[in-house]
Structure 1
Amino acid sequence: MSTTIDARGLSCPQPVLLTLDEIKKGAESEIIVMVDTDTSKENVSRAAQSQGCTVTGVKPDGEGYQICITRG
């Protein structure tokens, strides 16, 4: 099961903070984060990796990106 965070339209650091909050909850093993800027894509990926998570994929999604993150 996965959790989806729709952070499109939000400016940094909001997408990063939403992602970190979800990682800290620890409920789901996979988190999908939807963002709409290159900066948010890079910052969310870096923040997830700093928490020991793995970015398993980044896919274009319309005018933005879908970032797949797994714990451990």
Structure 2
Amino acid sequence: MVVDARGYSCPMPVVMVQKAVKADAPAALEVLVDNQCSVENVTRFAENSGYKVSVAAEGQDFRLCLNK
């Protein structure tokens, strides 16, 4: 499952990830964001929700891989 939150400023990326986690409780989730603030906030939420997070920079964007 992929959440594309590029183009959104906080707190929208976190809200989008919250909705995905609440709806499906996925074991793995990819999140695309385009700013460092979103990386930090989504990472904090994910870790507090029991996910391990890895971050990869892809040009101007960031790919966060969340895994239970």
TM-score, normalization: structure 1? 0.86
In structure 1, how many angstroms separate the alpha carbons of the residues matched to 2:5 and 2:32? 6
One-letter code aligned to 2:61: G
Instruction: Show the counterpart of 1:46.
Output: 44
Higher deviation after alignment, 17-26 or 40-49: 17-26
Unmatched tracts of structure 1, length 5 or more: none
Q: Say whether 1:4 aligns with 2:41.
A: no
Provide the identity percentage.
37
* Number of equivalenced pairs: 68
One-letter code aligned to 1:38: Q
Root-mean-square deviation over aligned CA pairs: 1.1
TM-score, normalization: structure 2? 0.91
Unmatched tracts of structure 2, length 5 or more: none
How far 1:6 moved relative to its partner?
A: 0.6
In structure 2, how many angstroms separate the alpha carbons of the residues matched to 1:24 and 1:52? 13
